[in-house]
Amino acid sequence: MTIVVTGSGPAGLTYALRLAELQASSDIILLEEHRQLGYPPHCTGLVSLSTLQREYPKLWKEASLTLIEGANIRTRHGVELSIDVGKPIAAVLDRRLFEELLGKAVEASGVTVKLDTQVKSVDPSRRRGALKGGEVFGYDILVLATGATAPLNALVGLERPKGLLPAVNAEYQLERAVEHRYVYVYIDSRVAPGFFAWIVPLSEYRVRVGLGATSKPIERLKLLEKLDPFGINLAQARRLQVYGGLILTGGPLKKYYSGRVVAIGDSAGHTKPTTGGGIAFTSIAARLLAQASVRADSWDDVGPLFQARYNKIIQREVKLMLLARRLASSMNDVQISKLLSILQGSGVVDEIARGHMDFHGGVLVALAKKSLETKPVTIAATLLQALLRLFF
């Protein structure tokens, strides 16, 4: 049997590794259009320790830049919410190195990795694909791990992911040290309409700054530098590099498969709608798809079996996250500041600190409950306004 994976981000690499672990005799071929793994960079690189220790216990520490214990959230109107878990809960990764190490593990497991090899077309009726240059390949299963733009989805009858936001990340060398145990989140519709901005420490004197926005992310990054909401003197810091990407907040596709072609990772919408984070859900999807590839009664059953198992685990969480994302996007700066100010003394910070970093459902329910218990009339009015804006 031949299984072809196109795309060598965490989704494609993790699936290939898990499948090789389950069935070493499989003929697994991973195709990557770029000349090296980990390029071009897109991601902020903040991943929960629970995901890293569960899925990548032998390699994540080598790619870790710093450990994170909490977050500081600030709004345009100066309202601040601080969350301190008191122990490391996440790591900031050097994503290029992380994918390079993951790629070495994949090759060591017997998978054939071909770089500088782009898939240009797919004929699902014949189970054939064509590479740039004209070479043709066959497959029993084709796995699309091609990222948020999902260029091959339409060719096989799959929709493309929804809820895409342009994003930008930039790395800065600071003149003075920053507290590097926390990430910093800034909510301001001038800077990040429809989403938020972030500052993620890489070390005491180096940070990764970024934002998602409905438009003009580079221009908004310059405004963020000027506003400098956390007082780290961004305008005077040395900008080392800038790279762009897309944030996925629309949830998974209605259908992840078409015949013997299966989408995974960003190309299937396997991200957290609240933050756009992908590795947590993608690593679960990769493991489940590998299991389905081995255990399905026939090749035609791989996609349906995978989707059923993934939805059983993730669907409730995704629905709650989607609702939270849509509500947050429909609220204006004043409403968000009002909500955070109410939450400051409600005990919900403790609920968040005790919650799971990747599975937000329980935290979101607790947040709503605490909010309504604290100031039911104010919260109800705020949420009603948000709902009206959302639907009308």
Local structure of 347: helix, strand or coil? coil
The arithmetic mean of pLDDT across residues 169-175, rounded, is 95
Mean pLDDT of all residues belonging to the chain = 88
The arithmetic mean of pLDDT across residues 249-278, rounded, is 94
Q: How confident is the model at residue 389 (pLDDT cuts 50, 70, 90)?
A: very low
Written as one letter, the residue type at 37 is L
Phi then psi for residue 99, to 5 deg, are: -70, -30
Where are the chain's structural domains? 2-35+115-160+251-316, 40-52+61-94+164-248, 331-391
Q: Which CATH architecture has domain 40-52+61-94+164-248?
A: 2-Layer Sandwich (3.30)
Phi then psi for residue 218, to 5 deg, are: -65, -45
Instruction: Encode pLDDT of 222-233 as tens digits.
Output: 999 999 999 999
Looking at residue 138, the DSSP 8-state letter turns out to be: E
- Predicted local distance difference test score (pLDDT) of residue 377: 47
Q: How confident is the model at residue 356 (pLDDT cuts 50, 70, 90)?
A: low
The answer on pLDDT for 390 being more than 50 is no
Cβ–Cβ < 8 Å for 180, 203: yes
Question: On the CB side of 136, how many CA atoms lie within 13 Å of its CA?
Answer: 6
Question: On the CB side of 349, how many CA atoms lie within 13 Å of its CA?
Answer: 19
Q: H/E element holding 69?
A: none
**Percent composition of the chain: helix, strand, coil (DSSP 3-state, to 5):** 40, 25, 35
Q: How far apart are CA 168 and CA 173, in angstroms?
A: 17
The answer on pLDDT for 325 being more than 90 is no
- Predicted local distance difference test score (pLDDT) of residue 384: 46
More confident residue, 43 or 203: 203
- CA quadruple 160, 166, 171, 177: dihedral sign: negative
- Predicted local distance difference test score (pLDDT) of residue 392: 36
Local structure of 348: helix, strand or coil? helix
Q: Who contacts 66 (Cβ-Cβ below 8 Å, separation ≥6)?
A: 91, 92, 180, 181, 201, 202, 203
The arithmetic mean of pLDDT across residues 312-316, rounded, is 90
The answer on pLDDT for 101 being more than 60 is yes
Q: Is the pTM of this model over 0.75?
A: yes
Instruction: Encode pLDDT of 138-160 as tens digits.
Output: 999 999 999 999 999 999 999 99
Phi then psi for residue 250, to 5 deg, are: -95, 0
Q: How confident is the model at residue 355 (pLDDT cuts 50, 70, 90)?
A: low
First vs last C-alpha separation in the chain: 52
Give me the residue label for tokens 């216990």: 57
Q: Which class in CATH covers the domain with range 2-35+115-160+251-316?
A: alpha beta
